[in-house]
Amino acid sequence: MNTRTRTLGISGALALALTLPLTACSGGDGASAGKTAPSALAAKKAHTQTRPIPEGKGSKVPSDFNGDGTPDLVLDDLAHKGLGDDPGIGIVYGREKHGPDPATRQLLSPAEYAAPTKGQIPAAFSSEAACDLNRDGFSDLVVSTDPPYDGQGRPPVPVQILFGSPTGISGKAVTLRIPDKARFGNDWPDQPVCGDFDDDGDGDLVIHASGGRLTFLPGPFTRAGAPRGTARLVQASGNVPAGPASDLDGDGADDVLVRAHTGTARSALVRGGPTGPGRPGAKYPAGEDVAFGRFGTTPGAAVLTTTGITLYGPQGAAGRTVKVPAPTGSALDAGDFDGDGRTDLVVSGDAGDPVRMVHGGTRLLSGPDVKGRVVAVADFDGDGKGDLVLQRAAADGDTDTVEVLRGVTEPAIASPDAALAFSTTVFTG
């Protein structure tokens, strides 16, 4: 299955735009918290000058790092000249009733924002998930790094947390603290997934361990990166947790998908509950990617293979299959793009591959005629419809194009004309 984290468009989060019950950490399309009237997204041509990040008072909107009630856009692949170190992570802050505003942006470079390990600053810095981990109303960014390791014994924890604030991400990251009793084997503890897995209203994390085990870290977290609850190991039929989490069985606790391994693989749900994740759930066959949503009247899962999408019910029973051309390595994203309450699906691959949209998860649409890699799905402009963010890199990698397509009613459910277009070179010069 595709290993790309989808929680950063909403929501991920910035992440997945689902019509299932949402929590502050499990994602959503932003529309669940957006009560503003419909309006146009920001002007098509992005300016290179910067504006101050607007100060917020806190919100429950996913991926809202400054707490102003609008989702923010996280971009990991920033175009830059040469083959130097990773320039970092770019955040484009949202503007009320307009959506992402590239003039209100922040570059999170490893040199300035990463925490050192054994005195060494990591060269790589990549976003993994976004959720409010310390219960202050501001989304926090969970990132992965490349700390030094000599290959002997247990490796250090590569996951770090950047905390949100009224002015957005502020201060250096802190390394996620995983108690020894919640680690197993000598694998890297990575692949963090946000969710409220014990239904107590606080953001939790699930992390890859090894040997068919997961690490459960219950929130809220301290500013030093430590869980306040009792961390423990969870048995699972796989090694690789995948976000975003979702409450598929409707019991109030988020469930997490776990893959047997990276790449095309079988997967299964680990269900949440009062004591956190651990109960076995539905199992799914090998596929490229999996997304959750409400397809018709009940929630379920969609499994993408190279030939199509098969829908599965809450208990894992297979249903309808829709033939969709999908190259190996394609990703599956979900959102309600036309505001009808049903989850629509988006299949995307590399920058040059066409984007395929499946209305309600059951009908392949002919449009919009666009290409690119989906980096986010969220209701950025607060009109109740999910919007689609695509990124296309130039062949030389020195520049790229990021486009925001507004969600619309049928026949296309996403406008082929970008409401906003800019290049991530605004971060790197």
Q: What is the pLDDT of residue 49?
A: 67
Those residues with Cβ within 8 angstroms of residue 244's Cβ, 6 or more apart along the chain or in another chain: 6, 7, 10, 11, 12, 13, 15, 16, 18, 26, 27, 129, 193, 194, 195, 292
Q: Find out whether 125 and 156 touch, Cβ atoms under 8 Å.
A: no
- pLDDT score of 407: 95
Instruction: Write the pLDDT tens digit of every residue in 239-269.
Output: 899 999 999 999 999 999 999 888 888 999 9
pLDDT of residue 287: 93
- φ, ψ (nearest 5 deg) of residue 113: -115, -20
Task: Give pLDDT, residue 361.
Answer: 94
Per-residue confidence (pLDDT) for residue 2, from 0 to 100: 44
In eight-state DSSP terms, residue 19 is S
Supply the pLDDT for residue 419: 94
Angle, vertex CA 311, rays to CA 413 and CA 347, nearest 5: 45
Low-confidence ranges of the chain (pLDDT < 50): 1-47
- Whole-angstrom Cα distance, residue 325 to residue 348? 10
pLDDT digits (tens, 9 = 90+) for 146-199: 999 999 999 999 999 999 999 999 999 999 999 999 999 999 999 999 999 999
pLDDT value of position 24: 37
Q: Which two tokens stand for residue 135?
A: 């219960």
**Structure confidence at residue 48 (pLDDT):** 57
Q: Would you say how long the chain is, in residues?
A: 429
Burial letters 20-30, b for 16+ CB under 10 A, else e: bbbbbbbbbbb
Predicted confidence at residue 272, as pLDDT, reads 97
Phi and psi at residue 423, in whole multiples of 5°?
-115, 145
> Which strands sit side by side in the sheet containing 89-95, from one edge to the other?
73-75, 89-95, 99-108
pLDDT for the residue numbered 26: 37
pTM (global) more than 0.75: yes
CA torsion through residues 143, 223, 109, 62, sign:
positive
Residue 47: per-residue pLDDT: 46
C-alpha separations of 23 from 29, 60, 194 in Å: 11, 8, 10
Give the strands of the sheet with 265-271, arranged side by side.
240-246, 255-259, 265-271, 279-287
DSSP 148-203: ---SSSSPPP-EEEE---TTSS-S--EEPP--GGG--TTS-----EEE-TTSSSS-
